[in-house]
Amino acid sequence: MTSRFTFFATLAAGSAVLTLTAYSFLWLAGRITNYHTTLAALDEKIVVLETRRLQARRGEQILTRRIKDFERVKASFVSRARPVALVEYVENLAVRTGNTLVLEIIESAPPDELALRLTAEGAVETVQKFVQLIELMPYQISIDELIFQRLDGALAGSASVKTGASPLSLTGHADRPHARVVLNTRVAAISQ
């Protein structure tokens, strides 16, 4: 009986060790599988982050190379809070063309625009040149209304043009050498 008991005891102990070993093996295999799954997910995240980093670097390189273009586009907008550059530009046009200028900023304009009323007075030819140069300004400008008046002591020759399309053309007459033009304009603006 002792040998039988020893046999069954050894068999039971061997089965327990074998079961414990199999369970440990399966537990370790599961942990290794989870580890590999975690590593694969981390590898995917690393690839995604590396792709984003490369895209950001390319974007930065493009921005660096194109900074002058962005500055040029930004310069075509007027700062609504500080329109000094635009005002100086328009005043310089008036001086270059030999006209007197009255410039009014209209406060009721939408936030993305700067509304101006420009009144230039001078010889017909210089007033026409002033209007042409206003249209060619390096700003995004729309002329909503143009009032052209020929001055000869009375305001007899007056014409008003509502515009939606450019370019504008004015014709003057030699018998009435002085003129006044009033331009109601809108300039694209940014808030800064």
Q: Which CATH superfamily is domain 79-190 in?
A: Ribosomal protein S6/Translation elongation factor EF1B (3.30.70.60)
The amino acid occupying position 164 is G
Domain ranges of the chain: 2-65, 79-190
Other CB atoms within 10 Å distance of the CB of residue 3: 7
DSSP 62-82: HHHHTHHHHHHHHHTSEESS-
Cα dihedral 127, 132, 136, 137 in deg (nearest 10): 10
Give me the pLDDT at residue 120, please.
92
Reading the chain (192 residues) residue by residue, the pLDDT tens digits are: 678 888 888 888 888 888 888 888 888 888 888 888 888 888 999 999 999 999 999 989 888 888 888 888 777 777 777 888 888 999 999 999 999 999 998 888 888 888 889 999 998 889 999 999 988 888 888 888 888 888 765 444 444 545 444 444 444 444 446 888 888 887 877 765
Tell me the C-alpha distance between 142 and 92, whole Å.
19
Q: Which helix (H) or strand (E) holds 145?
A: strand 141-151
Q: β-strand 141-151 against 157-162: which pairing, if any? A: antiparallel
What's the CA gap between 76 and 187, in Å, rounded? 9
The reported pLDDT for the residue numbered 165 is 41
